[in-house]
Amino acid sequence: MSMSSGSSNLGFEVKDLELINLTKRFADFVAVDDLSLTIPAGSFFALLGPSGCGKTTTLRMVAGLEDPTEGQILLGGADLTRLKAYQRPVNTVFQSYALFPHLDVFENVAFGLRRRGIKDVSAAVTAMLELVELGNLSRRKPAQLSGGQQQRVAVARALINHPGVLLLDEPLGALDLKLRRQMQIELKRIQTEVGTSFVHVTHDQEEAMTMADTVAVMNKGRIEQMGAPVEIYDLPRTRFVATFLGQSNEVPGRVTGSSGRDILVDAAGARFAVPAARSAVETGDILVGVRPEKLSISTQGTDIGDGVNAVTGKVIDASFTGVSTQYLVMTSWGGEWMVFEQNHTLGATLRPGDEVIVHWRPEHTFGLAVDSPAVDGLVAESA
């Protein structure tokens, strides 16, 4: 990125955040492992990963709440690494907010300004409370607010200081599903309005994909893959990313040749075409993968046409979810595949026990290295 600093529409200084070889070692493990990363000014950036992957430690190092073992943190080219938290032009929206319970909304929001010796805070606080739509609650104590309102206060309290970058640590973790959706849109709106960079840490892949322009998937202190949500969802480069970011169906096989721009894979007694550009490996063992919504499902014997990849199996579960029907298919080699089918027609046409053929177009296929680990089951992280 050529722009190192500039000015947003609300007078925010927007700056690039650079992490250079950032490492954090605790007594017996490496939380963040030689992380290098540039977050361009004005972007909404999500650090996504399971619990213990180092994402929160990374955020805390940027905030100055944790000292890096090695490496540097630069904001708009200025080195922050050795500065104390209170000296950094960076603010944080803490997990479960950490609002000051003895201060009302107004004083919570004014806290940072007052600490910097700004006398007349009321115009700035009022404007900020307008931005987060809390203008009428300024004299309430945090305990008298709902979760969503507390969230907004936390955002206002941080943003009022015009941070070079706003850090959000699992900001929506304490909210219920409906409110979380609403706040996702709200946070995105605020970010667009103020234009400053948001760095957002979450374990919720949907949250990351909804809000962020760029998602970095972290695992074991390293970034596995980084890019626009559509990009990394469509083309995961590691098995971890494929399984953490959404669901993935895989079949292990071996590369046997190529045809045009595709490589050909023999797996489970069938042949699959994988675009070479979409495969992490070009020879030897490979995992052929595809997303569940890219699949079509038909009873065996149906003509599926030529030039498609297909596996056979038996439906072991069908669940109707309204917009789609989700089938769990036991494949011929014993793997379980998930198929999402849009409910174009009325009712589920397939039942458990039906012999089916599951097929998809080669351009939706991706190839992964076999040795890279998957996410173990569903990763649930408590707040």
Partner 1 sequence: MPAIVPTTTAKTDAPAASSGSSQRRSRTAYLLLLPGLGWLGVFFVIPIATLFFTSLQAPVEGRSGVYQAAFQISNYAQALGDYWPQFVRSFIYAGLATVLALVIAYPLAYFIAFKAGRWRALMLVLVVAPFFASFLLRTYAWRTILADEGAITTALNALHLLPEDRILNTSIAVVLGLTYNFLPFMILPLYASLEKIDPRLIEASGDLYARPFTGFRKVVFPLSLPGVVAGTLLTFIPAAGDFINARLLGAPGDSMVGTAIQVNFLQFRDYPIASALSFILMAFILVVVFTYIRRAGTEDLV
Piece of the chain touching partner 1 by CB under 8 A; list 30-38, 95-103, 197-205, 372-380: 95-103
Yes or no: say if 162 and 76 are a contact pair by the CB < 8 Å rule. no
Residue 16, CA distances (Å) to 89, 129, 195 in order? 13, 27, 12
Instruction: Please report whether residue 173 would count as binding partner 1 according to CB under 8 A.
Output: no
Instruction: Please report whether residue 143 would count as binding partner 1 according to CB under 8 A.
Output: yes
Enumerate the H helices of 85-171 as residue ranges: 105-115, 122-131, 147-159
Instruction: Please report whether residue 102 would count as binding partner 1 according to CB under 8 A.
Output: yes
Q: Which helix (H) or strand (E) holds 337?
A: strand 336-342
Instruction: Please report whether residue 330 would count as binding partner 1 according to CB under 8 A.
Output: no
Enumerate the H helices of 251-362 as residue ranges: none
Piece of the chain touching partner 1 by CB under 8 A; list 37-45, 96-104, 260-268, 287-295: 96-104
Residue 142, CA distances (Å) to 108, 179, 184, 296, 362 in order? 9, 18, 21, 50, 54
Piece of the chain touching partner 1 by CB under 8 A; list 84-92, 239-247, 287-295, 342-350: 84-92
For residue 173, give the 3-state DSSP assignment.
coil
Instruction: Please report whether residue 86 would count as binding partner 1 according to CB under 8 A.
Output: yes
| Residue 102 or 261 having the CB closest to partner 1 | 102
Question: Could you give the CA distance from residue 228 to residue 272 in angstroms, rounded to a whole number?
Answer: 27
Question: Could you give the CA distance from residue 170 to residue 284 in angstroms, rounded to a whole number?
Answer: 40
Piece of the chain touching partner 1 by CB under 8 A; list 79-87, 126-134, 230-238, 242-250: 79-87
Instruction: Please report whether residue 116 would count as binding partner 1 according to CB under 8 A.
Output: yes
At closest approach, how far in Å is the CB of 358 from partner 1?
A: 48
Q: Which helix (H) or strand (E) holds 249?
A: strand 249-259
Instruction: Please report whether residue 150 would count as binding partner 1 according to CB under 8 A.
Output: no
Quote the tokens at residue 50: 């399971």
| Residue 26 or 320 having the CB closest to partner 1 | 26
> Which residues lie below 8 Å from residue 27, measured CB to CB, with a gap of 6+?
none
Instruction: Please report whether residue 33 would count as binding partner 1 according to CB under 8 A.
Output: no
At closest approach, how far in Å is the CB of 191 from partner 1?
A: 19
At closest approach, how far in Å is the CB of 348 from partner 1?
A: 42
Piece of the chain touching partner 1 by CB under 8 A; list 105-113, 214-222, 250-258, 296-304: 105-113
Among 1, 85, 228, 383, binds partner 1 (CB under 8 A): 85
* Pairing mode, strands 13-15 and 5-7: antiparallel
Among 12, 44, 111, 327, binds partner 1 (CB under 8 A): 111
Yes or no: say if 326 and 338 are a contact pair by the CB < 8 Å rule. yes
Among 22, 47, 59, 63, binds partner 1 (CB under 8 A): 63
* Pairing mode, strands 355-360 and 70-75: unpaired
Question: Could you give the CA distance from residue 78 to residue 88 in angstroms, rounded to a whole number?
Answer: 11
Among 15, 24, 157, 359, binds partner 1 (CB under 8 A): 157
Give me the residues that bind partner 1 (CB under 8 A), please: 63-65, 84-86, 90-92, 94-96, 98-103, 107, 111-112, 115-116, 143, 157-158, 161
